[in-house]
């Protein structure tokens, strides 16, 4: 028996995001959306600022590569490419000394595709230009789904990424961090746990989206203090922190354990976390025990805090 199949329909970007700065840039800067772009390009993009100033102008998103602190600029254009935005890319890149320049558009003109290719071929090899088309599709009345499509990228980019992430070229600590998170991701997948996991990186933290744009779950491993922290991490939304804090007693009762509540005065972030001390990070035989503790705490944090959103 043949089943009825839906028909893919392309949606105009302006039907989803009316305003580039107010709507699209805000959407893209959210953790779960910038992560989709990160996975497409192959680097971990960390948003630093939206509408970051360059003289009298503003770049849509200023970010950095979490693995090696290279500055990234992202310029958005919800229409066909034009000379004006191409000029802005170069102005913004020079203003922030960026090494990775990303131009996201609805449609790339052939002459601008060739221009990006020419830049990648003829300027300093540490400077990398990306031209990316964004498409949105739906099936019938389904939710629209975005898809990033790389139109032009630096020469030998795949080799560059492999070289940068080659654990043999990392410090011993960074290599162990990468192996730890890769093993953690494999553990979660083998157990069939309901977490959307990103590509592991050689760093001491691992972020996990749980469906809220202002906060996410985070695990940190501190080799200096021999501790693991599982936390709810809130970015630049103190109202949400206070909303949770108003229900501190109920939340901790449902969790079955107490949390450290860190308002972090003077910073935009805040967090609520539980710590496991006296771990031996180098003892790989103990990792599965740590993973079991981590996933158990993350599931509770996700399920309980979601009730108070």
pLDDT tens sequence across 42-63 = 888 889 999 888 888 899 999 9
Identify whether the C-beta of residue 178 lies closer than 8 Å to the C-beta of residue 186.
Answer: no
Local structure of residue 144 (DSSP, 8 states): P
pLDDT of residue 27: 94
Average pLDDT over residues 277-301: 95
β-bridge pairing 100-107 and 128-139 = parallel
Report the distance separating Cα 100 and Cα 154, nearest Å: 10
Mean pLDDT throughout 283-300? Answer: 95
Q: In this structure, are residues 96 and 54 in contact, taking their beta carbons and an 8 Å threshold?
A: yes
Q: Which residue has the tokens 């083998």?
A: 190
On the question of pLDDT at 164 being above 60, the answer is no
Supply angle C-alpha 156, 106, 150, rounded to 5.
15
The predicted-structure confidence for 190-220, as pLDDT tens digits, reads as follows 999 888 888 887 888 888 888 877 888 999 9
Residue ranges of the domains in the chain? 8-164, 167-306
**Helical H runs in the chain?**
13-16, 26-29, 31-41, 83-96, 110-122, 157-165, 172-191, 238-245, 248-255, 287-306
Instruction: Check the CA dihedral 305-65-61-196 and report its sign.
Output: negative
Kindly state the tokens that stand for 282. Answer: 């180098």
Q: How far apart are the first and last CA of the chain?
A: 44
* pLDDT tens digit sequence for 125-157: 788 999 999 999 998 888 899 999 999 988 766
Whether pLDDT at 97 is above 80: yes
Closest CA to 100 of 134, 138, 66: 66
Instruction: Single out the residue of 35, 18, 21 nearest to residue 148, CA to CA.
Output: 35
- Matching CATH topology for 8-164 and 167-306? no
For range 280-302, the mean pLDDT: 95
Is residue 280 predicted with pLDDT exceeding 80? yes
Contact partners, residue 15, CB within 8 Å, separation at least 6: none
pLDDT at site 205: 87
Question: What's residue 251's pLDDT?
Answer: 95
Confidence band of 298 (pLDDT split at 50, 70, 90): very high
> Is the pLDDT score of 25 beyond 50?
yes
Instruction: Determine the Cα–Cα distance for residues 272 and 245; give it in Å rounded to an integer.
Output: 9
Q: What is the pLDDT of residue 4?
A: 75
**Within 10 A of 146 (CB to CB), how many other CB atoms are there?**
16
Q: Return d(Cα 113, Cα 267) in angstroms, integer.
A: 40
User: Which pLDDT band holds residue 168 (cuts at 50, 70, 90)?
Assistant: very low
pLDDT digits (tens, 9 = 90+) for 235-269: 878 889 999 999 999 999 999 999 999 887 666 78
Mean predicted lDDT score pLDDT of the chain: 88
What span, in angstroms and rounded, lies between the C-alpha atoms of 41 and 230? 28
- 80 or 124, greater pLDDT: 80
Strand partners, 150: 132
Q: How far apart are CA 7 and CA 289, in angstroms?
A: 46
98-122 pLDDT, tens digit per residue, is 999 999 999 999 999 999 999 988 8
Buried b (16+ CB within 10 A) or exposed e, 27-47: bbbbbbbbbebbeebbbbbbb
Percent of the chain with pLDDT over 90: 57
More confident residue, 167 or 308: 308
* Residue 99 near residue 124, CB atoms below 8 Å: no
Instruction: Give the CATH number of domain 8-164.
Output: 3.40.1350.10
What fold, for 167-306? Yope Regulator; Chain: A, (3.30.1460)
145: its two tokens: 């789904």
Residues contacting residue 176 through CB under 8 Å, at least 6 positions apart? 281, 282
The phi and psi torsions of 14 (rounded to 5 degrees) equal -70, -15
């Amino acid at each position: 028996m043949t089943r009825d199949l839906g028909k893919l329909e392309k949606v105009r970007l302006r039907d989803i995001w009316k305003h580039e700065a107010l709507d699209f840039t805000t959407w893209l800067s959210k953790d779960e959306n910038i992560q989709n772009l990160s996975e497409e390009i192959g680097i971990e993009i960390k948003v630093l600022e939206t509408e970051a100033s360059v003289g009298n102008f503003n770049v849509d998103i200023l970010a950095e590569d979490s693995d090696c602190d290279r500055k990234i600029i992202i310029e958005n254009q919800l229409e066909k490419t034009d000379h004006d935005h191409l000029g802005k890319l170069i102005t913004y890149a020079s203003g922030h000394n960026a090494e990775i320049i990303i131009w996201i558009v609805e449609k790339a003109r052939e002459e601008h595709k060739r221009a990006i290719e020419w830049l990648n071929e003829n300027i300093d090899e540490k400077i990398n230009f990306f031209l990316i088309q964004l498409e949105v599709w739906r099936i019938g009345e389904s939710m629209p789904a975005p898809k990033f499509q790389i139109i032009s990228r630096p020469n030998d980019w795949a080799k560059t990424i492999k070289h940068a992430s080659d654990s043999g070229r990392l410090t011993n600590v960074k290599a162990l961090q990468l192996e730890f998170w890769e093993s953690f991701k494999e553990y979660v997948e083998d157990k069939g746990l309901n977490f959307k996991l990103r590509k592991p990186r050689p760093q001491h933290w691992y972020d996990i989206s749980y469906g809220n744009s202002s906060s996410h779950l985070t695990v940190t491993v501190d080799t200096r203090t021999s501790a693991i922290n599982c936390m709810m991490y809130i970015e630049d939304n103190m109202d949400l922190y206070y909303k949770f804090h108003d229900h501190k007693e109920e939340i901790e009762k449902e969790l079955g354990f107490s949390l450290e509540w860190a308002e972090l005065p003077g910073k935009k972030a805040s967090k609520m976390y539980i710590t496991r001390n006296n771990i031996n990070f180098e003892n790989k035989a103990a990792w599965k025990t740590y993973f079991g503790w981590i996933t158990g705490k993350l599931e509770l944090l996700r399920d309980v805090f979601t009730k108070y959103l």
